[in-house]
Structure 1
Amino acid sequence: MATRDLTMGMIFLSQTLTGILGNFSLLSHYLYLYFTRCKFRSTDLIIKHLTVANCLVILSRGVPQTMAALGMKHFLSDIGCKLVFYVHRVGRDVSTGSTCLLSISQAITISPRNTRWAELKAKAPKYIGFSVVLFWMVNLILNVMVPVHVTENGSDKNMTREVDYGYCYSVISYRFTVYGAVYVALVLFRDIFFVGLLMWASSSMVVILYRHKQQVQYIHGTNIPSRSSPESRATHSILILVSTFVSLCTLSSLFHIFLIVLNNPSIWLVNTSALIAGSFPTVSPYILMSHDSRVLRLIFTFSRYTESPV
């Protein structure tokens, strides 16, 4: 095995293990809250589904990519390839929708009660569960075309071109049917719609936080520091999460375009694209846990318990 392949395999393995550890730690935290009957926040349900979607993305892309980088080429059957790519796409799209919903929900939560969002603020928590289930259903249906473009073996047809991921081939067809045009239009509309909502919600949170800071400084004076509320900490966490998501999503889209446009893309381009695609599911649980006071309090309690003498 070449040193370059071993290095890339170790990088994929590190990313996969880090992502699995972070997401399962976050899920374990919510299981602990459930069994101890702690009060859940309105955004906790969204974060749980976001974590599940992240796990699907990491397991369906990170694990096969690691095995391929370590020398195990094309170890999946045709059905396995189709299933892995389908699960990855569904998990990625649900992760996008959940991040968008999380941002919108937090923007509504921190909005002042005397604004036009007051009525929506009271009703929003009731529709979170329905919205998350709708994301899963829509993406399970919308991504049924993904397995059509994935195969175990490369094609010899002149009308197609393949991207070799090391364990499967993604087939790019030059034939563009009416159904294909409708499918691409739906996918583009969904992605643009979610990114637009993300940017709107993030901008709204920044404006609300800025106005709140100005009011606090006016009331208390500039020399008296004010403690951040749980809502402010959660908002900062989601703003960091959204910024990370938009940056990595933009990079991932650019690399995906390169894979489609270029003839015979190099293995470096394929691996870099896969690394960027797995970055957000890997880092997002750590961003969320670092700003959740319940997680920090649990870690502090556990560390005191383990350090206390028997």
Structure 2
Amino acid sequence: MDLCVTVKGISFLLQTGMGILGNTVVLLAYAHIILTESKLLPVDMILCHLAFANLVLLLTRGVPQTMTVFGLTNLLNDAGCKVVIYSYRISRALSVCLTCMLSVFQAVTVAPAGSGLSRLKPALPSLVLPTFAGLWLLNMAICIAAPFFSMSPRNGTVPAYTLNLGFCHVDFRDHLSYVVNGVAVSGRDFVFVALMVASSGYILLLLHRHSRQVRAIHRSQGGGAETRAAKTVVTLVVLYVFFFGIDNVVWIYMLTEAKVSPVVADMRVFFSSCYAFLSPYFIISSNKMVKAKVLCAAKQDRPDSMDTQETYDR
């Protein structure tokens, strides 16, 4: 196997495997929290939903991409391609929308009393589920074109205006469909990214003012829970915007080309999946509840392994 293909395959394998593991751990931690405490804060509900969206993203794009890199062919028929591509498009869209929702909700949470945003704070818990439903319906509608253009790979040359994903082809058939789809997807993403950047900037401004006013309290207490949560949200936004920028630079290039090299498509897939791969580990390290559940599970497993070892030693 060519060295370049091997490196690419190992990179996708590690990214997909570690990403699936991390998001699964986050979901299991939140499932345990729901069972034991039977209630999640709005921010935790969004983080749980974000982990689910990122898990689906990795399963529907990272797994088949990795298998294709290692030479496995004919993975999906036309129907399978339509389901996988549609699921991937929705989960990718939900990833950006939920990160934006997380940023906006946190901005409302930390808004000072008397401001316009602070009036929305009591309504946040009741807005979470309707917002989830609205985001699902919005993205299902925007991504509805994807199944109609998706098909299993055909023998021979790849037609113009076709995204060659390796395991599936997305054939837009003409330049107009190709550009309209790209503009619709990119337009939605840029709107939500702009909104998350604006709300994160507002959060940073409030944190800066707050730190100047109560610096002594922060030094003695290390900051409140809202401050820690706000910093977590801002970091997630910065992480998303960074990889979103790389992803869209490649995507804009792809829109200008009639035939796109599989290497370019692979680059876009890898960078667009980096957020789904990295974000659960940041959530685990920064969210006290999730971290406590993970550490508790690790401690419970440790004595069992020690007892087993003692039994073998005897």
Tell me the TM-score normalized by structure 2: 0.88
Provide the C-alpha distance between the structure 2 equivalents of 1:277 and 1:157, rounded to a whole number of angstroms. 26
Provide the C-alpha distance between the structure 2 equivalents of 1:293 and 1:81, rounded to a whole number of angstroms. 39
Instruction: Please state how far the C-alpha of 1:247 moved relative to its aligned partner.
Output: 1.0
Give the alignment of 1:146-165 within 5 angstroms: 146-154=146-154, 160-165=160-165
Instruction: Please state how far the C-alpha of 1:172 moved relative to its aligned partner.
Output: 3.8
Letter in 1 for 2:202: S
Task: Give the length in aligned residue pairs.
Answer: 305
Instruction: Please state how far the C-alpha of 1:269 moved relative to its aligned partner.
Output: 1.6
CA 21–157 in structure 1, closer or farther in 2 if over 3 Å, else same: closer
Instruction: Please state how far the C-alpha of 1:185 moved relative to its aligned partner.
Output: 6.0
Question: Is contact 1:45-1:129 (8 Å) kept?
Answer: no
> Is the counterpart of residue 73 in structure 1 residue 68 in structure 2?
no
Q: Report the identity percentage.
A: 27
Instruction: Please state how far the C-alpha of 1:5 moved relative to its aligned partner.
Output: 1.9
- In structure 2, list runs of 5 or more residues that go unmatched: 308-314
1:232 aligned residue (227, 244, 253): 227
Instruction: Please state how far the C-alpha of 1:304 moved relative to its aligned partner.
Output: 4.9
Match of 1:250 in 2: 245
Task: Name whichever structure is richer in helix by fraction.
Answer: 2
Give the alignment of 1:240-279 within 5 angstroms: 240-279=235-274
Provide the C-alpha distance between the structure 1 equivalents of 2:190 and 2:259, rounded to a whole number of angstroms. 29
Question: Is contact 2:283-2:290 (8 Å) kept?
Answer: no
- In structure 1, list runs of 5 or more residues that go unmatched: none
2:197 aligned residue (183, 196, 199): 199
Question: Is contact 1:248-1:279 (8 Å) kept?
Answer: yes
Provide the C-alpha distance between the structure 2 equivalents of 1:221 and 1:29, rounded to a whole number of angstroms. 32
Provide the C-alpha distance between the structure 1 equivalents of 2:289 and 2:130, rounded to a whole number of angstroms. 26
Match of 1:61 in 2: 61
> Is the counterpart of residue 216 in structure 1 residue 214 in structure 2?
yes
Provide the C-alpha distance between the structure 1 equivalents of 2:96 and 2:292, rounded to a whole number of angstroms. 29
Provide the C-alpha distance between the structure 2 equivalents of 1:111 and 1:137, rounded to a whole number of angstroms. 29
* DSSP 3-state at the match of 1:26: helix
Question: Is contact 1:85-1:147 (8 Å) kept?
Answer: yes
Question: Is contact 1:155-1:162 (8 Å) kept?
Answer: no
Give the alignment of 1:1-310 within 5 angstroms: 1-37=1-37, 39-154=39-154, 160-176=160-176, 181=180, 186-217=184-215, 220=216, 224-305=219-300
CA 272–157 in structure 1, closer or farther in 2 if over 3 Å, else same: closer
Pairwise CA RMSD of aligned residues?
2.6
Question: Is contact 2:182-2:255 (8 Å) kept?
Answer: no
Instruction: Please state how far the C-alpha of 1:110 moved relative to its aligned partner.
Output: 1.1
Letter in 1 for 2:283: L
CA 36–159 in structure 1, closer or farther in 2 if over 3 Å, else same: closer
Instruction: Please state how far the C-alpha of 1:83 moved relative to its aligned partner.
Output: 1.5
Provide the C-alpha distance between the structure 2 equivalents of 1:291 and 1:272, rounded to a whole number of angstroms. 29
Letter in 1 for 2:225: P
Instruction: Please state how far the C-alpha of 1:254 moved relative to its aligned partner.
Output: 1.3
Tell me the TM-score normalized by structure 1: 0.89
Provide the C-alpha distance between the structure 1 equivalents of 2:39 and 2:158, rounded to a whole number of angstroms. 60
Match of 2:310 in 1: none
Instruction: Please state how far the C-alpha of 1:71 moved relative to its aligned partner.
Output: 0.3
Question: Is contact 2:60-2:88 (8 Å) kept?
Answer: yes
Match of 2:311 in 1: none
* DSSP 3-state at the match of 2:163: strand
Q: Deviations over 1:93-131 (max 9, x none)?
A: 111111110000011111112322232111122111100
Instruction: Please state how far the C-alpha of 1:173 moved relative to its aligned partner.
Output: 3.3
Q: Deviations over 1:20-55 (max 9, x none)?
A: 011000000111101112542121221121111111
Question: Is contact 2:162-2:172 (8 Å) kept?
Answer: yes
CA 17–208 in structure 1, closer or farther in 2 if over 3 Å, else same: same
* DSSP 3-state at the match of 1:176: helix
Instruction: Please state how far the C-alpha of 1:2 moved relative to its aligned partner.
Output: 2.6
Letter in 2 for 1:276: F
Letter in 1 for 2:92: R
Provide the C-alpha distance between the structure 2 equivalents of 1:275 and 1:159, rounded to a whole number of angstroms. 24
CA 72–184 in structure 1, closer or farther in 2 if over 3 Å, else same: closer
